[in-house]
Amino acid sequence: MLLALGGVAGAQGVACDGAVATKAGRSGPCTKLATQIEALLGAPAVARAHWGVKVVALDGTPIYAMNEAQFFQPASNAKLFTTATALALLGGGTTFETQVLARGIFHGADKLTGDVVLVGSGDANLSGRELPYVPPALRPKRQPGAPPLPEPDSLRYLAEMADQVAATGLKVVNGDVIGDDTLFPWQPYAEDWSIDDTVWGYGAPVSALTITDNQLKIVVTPGATAGGPATVSLDPALAYYTVDVSGLATGAAKSGSHVQMERALGSKVLRVYGSIAVDSQPDEEEIAIHDPAEYAAIALKGMLEARGITVTGVARARHVISTETKDIVRASHETPAGMDWTKTYSVGKKPLACSDACANMAQTPATVLASHTSPALREDVVVTNKVSQNLHAEMFLHDVGSAVLGDGSTLGGARVVRAFLEHAGVNKDDFVFFDGSGLSGHDLVTPRATTRLLRYAVAQPWFADWRRSLPVGGEDGSLAGRFPSAPLKDHVFAKTGTLGEARALSGYLECASGKTVIFSIMVGNHAPRNNSDRDAMDKVVAAIAANN
């Protein structure tokens, strides 16, 4: 339970080293907490990094600040801003409806001259993910000697819709199966996403028709003998990528796993190479799907055919190609007209606008053959923040743009997020967002902007849902392995962030006194591939808790 915090308990005046304070960029009085934090961040292993810290009481009373107004890469702390906007403007109870439409002319109930169209609605959860989110401690445990617990089929909802289509009596489709993601312009990657990220599931492309998190599980298994071939399998096992394993082999015992994967941007050839020791466990990775709408159409076509429905055409995607030319920094500052902060906005559908032929097809008769309704948005917010799901955060960005402005582009979402944050009292010059997840290296935010959002949220009707989404120290999400012991275990509720040489941790902290404070700790330019900054960050959290 979050309690009111009236002041700074336990802060004691001590002698401070003025040089250290100047280097640290501290603003405010010298206190015992200030001395401890500056000593921790002045240690040789982390002193050359750029640090920012802001700590306030729930009522906004300042407790400690270091470089609070300077920019840092937020990494996944950006998700705090995106998910708060989604909950505030769309509402925690909102759902998304994905439909399968018949566009064309029926000849009886069994024959369609036209296309079957799977229409993306901005739902991020057409997958095998179980919702609501269950903390690790409460999940079913595998018994010793028992087979692995079964995982839900990642295409299960698509299969359910295929069953609905078959139940209508449809037997012949003289046309194509189309994956339609035109609710959003086709902008699969935001500005300054690393090209390296696009191979992996965490860098999956954004699409209004998202399927199985727009990623595939790839499993590399060693062969029976060293020097022999290793095997590669994909789940779902759908013919989509051509997998080149010519450079992959089984290594000698105890040689470890040295498997690499790469795919050129736009290519459907996935190269898997390197070695995996004969005694190694299988190497499991998540690989991004190049075109999710196309993939969904291929999967649905196969499911319809497996249910006895003949499809004479092909599976293909329908996109609206972006023609946006505005600079996102300038254009996102354009205040949307008519924003109503007293209402929640409805997610929905818009007319197709991809080409003349596409527009003509939109005028042909449409019949709903099947549909699927998503879980409530609040449950996806929990998943997004707990496990730091990049794609889902990007979907929220595009969803709010589509719902509020009728513009599901990256810019449309960025405009809505900025308008919401300014409404929440966040200084307009304290943040720049190019995406919704924090993957963009251009994203910048100040610690004071983050604490301002955290403070604003406390008094909002959606706060309980949002706070429930934050990882809990020593318990779940991205904090399951941090703060594992008393007094911090179960008392840190915060969002993590990691991107290259940037790291962040921001949220709520229940302190030794029983009072709760708000904090944001950010670091940039720390030593690469090194966790010393994370260890120092966690010690700072402990110092804040002990001194308040």
Average pLDDT over residues 1-29: 47
Length in residues, the chain: 548
Nearest CA to 200 out of 330, 102, 290 is that of 290
Torsion sign (Cα): 55, 61, 63, 67: positive
Q: Is the model's pLDDT at 361 over the cut of 70? A: no
d(CA 154, CA 292): 14
**Confidence (pLDDT) at 337:** 87
pLDDT, mean over the chain: 92
Q: Cα–Cα–Cα angle for 41, 47, 51, nearest 5°? A: 60
Q: SS3 for 443-462, per residue?
A: CEECHHHHHHHHHHHHCCCC
| Cβ atoms 383, 392 nearer than 8 A | yes
Closest CA to 233 of 250, 249, 216: 216
Q: What is the CA radius of gyration of the chain?
A: 25
Strands (E), 343-411: 366-373
CA distance 430 to 444: 8
Tokens representing 194 are 């690393």
Q: Which of 297, 238, 295 is closest to 115 using CA atoms?
A: 297
Q: Is the pLDDT of residue 189 over 90?
A: yes
Amino acid present at 439: L
Rounded to an integer, what distance in angstroms lies between the CA atom of residue 293 and that of residue 38? 51
Q: Is the pLDDT of residue 410 over 60?
A: yes
Closest by Cα among 165, 172, 167 to 105: 172
Looking up tokens 């690989």 gives 287
Task: Inform me whether the pLDDT recorded for 18 exceeds 60.
Answer: no
Of 3, 56, 183, 211, the C-alpha closest to 521 is 56
Using CA atoms, how far residue 344 sits from 89, 93, 94, in Å, is 5, 10, 9
Structure confidence at residue 365 (pLDDT): 78
Is 419 in contact with 336 (CB distance < 8 Å)?
yes
Token pair listed for 277: 């020791």
The predicted model gives 101-105 an average pLDDT of: 97
Would you say residue 353 has pLDDT above 50?
no
Give me the residue spans of the domains in the chain. Answer: 1-72+446-548, 212-288
Confidence of residue 350 (pLDDT cuts 50, 70, 90): low
Express each pLDDT in 286-324 by its tens digit. Answer: 999 999 999 999 999 999 999 999 999 999 999 999 998
Residue 13 confidence (pLDDT) above 50: no
Closest by Cα among 528, 494, 525 to 510: 494
* Nearest CA-CA partner of 6 in 447, 520, 517, 491: 517
**How many Å apart are CA 344 and CA 76, to the nearest integer?**
25
CB of 276 closer than 8 Å to CB of 220: yes
Q: How far apart are the first and last CA of the chain?
A: 16
To 10 degrees, what angle do helices 156-167 and 292-306 make? 50
- Cα atoms in the Cβ-side hemisphere of radius 13 Å centred on 218: 27
The H or E element that residue 257 is part of is strand 257-262
What amino acid occupies position 324?
A: E
- Which residues are 178's β-sheet partners? 117, 316
β-strand pairing of 215-221 with 231-235: antiparallel
CATH architecture of 1-72+446-548: 3-Layer(aba) Sandwich (3.40)
pLDDT band at 444 (very low <50, low <70, confident <90, very high): very high
Least confident window among 8-12, 64-68, 227-231, 462-466: 8-12
Q: Which among 11, 61, 7, 1 is positioned nearest to 544, based on CA atoms?
A: 11
Look at residue 329 and tell me whether its pLDDT is greater than 80. Answer: yes
Question: What residues contact residue 143 under an 8 Å CB cut-off, 6+ apart?
Answer: none
* pLDDT band, very low/low/confident/very high, at 363 (cuts 50, 70, 90): low
Count of Cβ atoms closer than 10 Å to residue 256 Cβ: 12
Confidence at residue 356, expressed as pLDDT on a 0 to 100 scale = 45
CA distance linking residue 86 with residue 434, whole number of Å: 16
Q: 248-290 pLDDT, tens per residue?
A: 999 999 999 999 999 998 999 999 999 999 999 999 999 999 9
Instruction: List, edge to edge, every strand of the sheet that includes 50-57.
Output: 26-27, 62-66, 50-57, 516-524, 502-510, 492-499
In three-state secondary structure terms, 209 is: coil
The amino acid that residue 520 corresponds to is S
Half-sphere exposure of 8 (CA within 13 A, CB side): 19
CA gap 122, 473 in Å, rounded? 31
Nearest to 78 by CA among 500, 453, 530: 453
Mean of the pLDDT values across residues 411-422? 97
Q: Please name the residues in contact with 377: beta carbons below 8 A apart, sequence gap of 6 or more.
A: 86, 87, 90, 91, 92, 93, 94, 95
Whether pLDDT at 80 is above 60: yes
Torsion of CA 462, 463, 465, 468, to 10 degrees: 170
pLDDT digit string (tens) for 120-144?
999 999 999 999 999 998 988 888 8
pLDDT tens by residue, 190-236: 999 999 999 999 999 999 999 999 999 999 999 999 999 999 999 99
